[in-house]
Amino acid sequence: MSSDASIFNGRRILLGVSGGIAAYKTAELIRLFKKAGAEVRVVMTPDATRFVTPLTLGTLSENEVHIEIFPENEAGSWTKHVSLGLWADLFVVAPATAQTTSKLVAGACDSMLTAVALTARCPMMVCPAMDHDMYIHPSTVDNHKVLRERGVEVMEAEHGELASGLVGQGRLPEPSAIFEHAAEIIRAKIALRDGPLAGKKVLVTAGPTREAIDPVRYISNHSTGTMGYEVARAAARRGADVVLVSGPTSLESPEYVRRVDVVSTQEMDDAVQRHADADFIVMVAAVADFTPADTSDSKLKKDGSARELSLQPTIDILAGLGKEKRDGQTLVGFALETDDGLKNAQSKLKRKNLDWIVLNNPKEEGAGFGTTTNKVTLLSNEGQQIELPVLPKGEVAEAILEFTTNRG
């Protein structure tokens, strides 16, 4: 058990159990939560009762187990799913079968478990368990991806012997591992609850975009996404609800950040528009300025002759945000300039109705793409000019947020 298991003391854990053979492990999981001082309530799908009885889980949790959406002979039963969703500090679904996972994605509401999932305001943690071929099926992979994009913490299934007799990835993580992972989520929730950006939504874009020439080739740039990911990570540490719209990168998602993957500039614009209600928007992405006027459906063959590529401007995402900026919203842009940096950045700041712009020059030592450091100058629409020295990108991100989100 975690050396800091006391973090569960007084916490309210809602455990969702769906119908898989691994449901028997939830008895041990309840024991761990209870021993650490948590209050546990259990909701089950009807199929889950075929693998472990409500009597067992109810006895261990010392609370009634809920299965149907509308419990019989109970006052206020028609709103029980709402009250349970409001009660919990953390909703853990273990095991989460392929069926239940698909219902969580679709917003189905056919059991107390799925109904509570639609009302819960707390963090949700999903622990998949199923046969290997089901786990790696594109439908399941896509469902897990969608849940992660929505901010759900999805644990990776473990590799080992499965109920089918096969060996592969799909086993429910051991109760101790689920317990430790839940502790990390609770710990982060407590640590961030009083952060300076608690209750605020922050939208960050990162990485490059790619504009297809044909199914094989594309126009892009050298952005790795590192700077944007550090901004998203720093915003999450400050307690914000962070959405990261990311172009293609090899980076892992920052903790407690909802990541939305895109490829083209149009896809990035679509994703940004879905989250344009953010309190703070930091547009770090190196968006392609041009896209081919015509994209070939087949690979263009090399025949020894020269080819001309007709380009047209991509949509200006930042300008669109500036045009529609609402009162109280802060919009931060980035300007990568190689010549006349200050002049061009100030023009962009005014032209696109930004509150701040972050200027950097890839020619300067310690700045640019593919480095672990950056050197930037922050310019505000009120005339402030803050020049930072060469710093690790994580520290640059902290400084950017310190200046741009301080409205006091």
Q: Which residues pair with 391 in a beta bridge?
A: 374
For residues 372 and 352, the answer to whether their CB atoms sit within 8 Å is no
* DSSP H or E stretch at residue 58: helix 54-61
Q: Given the DSSP bridges, would you call strands 376-380 and 385-387 parallel, antiparallel or unpaired?
A: antiparallel
DSSP letters of 172-196?
PPPHHHHHHHHHHHHHHHHHHHTST
State residue 351 phi and psi, 5-degree precision. -65, -35
Write down all domains in the chain, each with its CATH number in brackets.
Answer: 5-193 (3.40.50.1950), 201-404 (3.40.50.10300)
Q: Tokens 């993580």 appear where?
A: 173
In this structure, the number of other CB atoms found within 10 A of the CB of residue 80 comes to 21
The C-alpha atoms of residue 200 and residue 196 are separated, in whole angstroms, by 9
Q: Given the DSSP bridges, would you call strands 201-206 and 241-246 parallel, antiparallel or unpaired?
A: parallel
In this structure, the number of other CB atoms found within 10 A of the CB of residue 252 comes to 8
Q: pTM above 0.75?
A: no
- Both tokens of 232, joined, read 């998203």
For residues 248 and 207, the answer to whether their CB atoms sit within 8 Å is yes
The C-alpha atoms of residue 7 and residue 18 are separated, in whole angstroms, by 26
State residue 166 phi and psi, 5-degree precision. -80, 165
Nearest to 41 by CA among 22, 54, 52: 54
Residue 312 region by backbone torsions, left for phi larger than 0, else alpha for psi between -120 and 50, else beta: beta
Active site residue: 9, 63, 73, 221, which one? 221
The C-alpha atoms of residue 195 and residue 237 are separated, in whole angstroms, by 7
* pLDDT of the chain, 408 residues: tens digit per residue: 444 567 888 889 999 999 999 999 999 999 999 999 999 999 999 999 999 999 999 999 999 898 987 766 555 455 677 878 888 889 999 999 999 999 999 998 888 999 999 988 889 999 999 999 999 999 999 999 999 988 899 999 999 887 878 888 889 999 999 999 999 888 877 766 678 898 899 999 999 999 999 999 999 999 999 999 999 999 988 989 899 999 999 998 887 788 999 999 999 999 999 999 999 999 999 999 999 999 999 998 888 888 889 999 999 999 999 999 999 999 999 998 888 879 999 999 999 999 999 998 887 887 777 788 999 999 999 999 999 999 999 999 999 999 999 865
State residue 291 phi and psi, 5-degree precision. -135, 150
- Both tokens of 166, joined, read 């096969």
Nearest to 125 by CA among 81, 171, 90: 90
Q: Given the DSSP bridges, would you call strands 124-128 and 373-374 parallel, antiparallel or unpaired?
A: unpaired
- Please provide the distance, in angstroms rounded to a whole number, between the alpha carbons at the two ends of the chain: 43
AA letter at 32:
L
Q: Tokens 């802060």 appear where?
A: 330
The C-alpha atoms of residue 120 and residue 85 are separated, in whole angstroms, by 4
In this structure, the number of other CB atoms found within 10 A of the CB of residue 335 comes to 23
Distances, alpha carbon 121 to alpha carbons 86, 89, 115, 202, in Å: 6, 8, 13, 18
- Both tokens of 277, joined, read 């209600």
Distance of CA 321 to the CA centre of its chain: 21
Catalytic-residue membership of 360: no
Q: Dihedral sign for Cα 115, 117, 119, 120, please.
A: positive
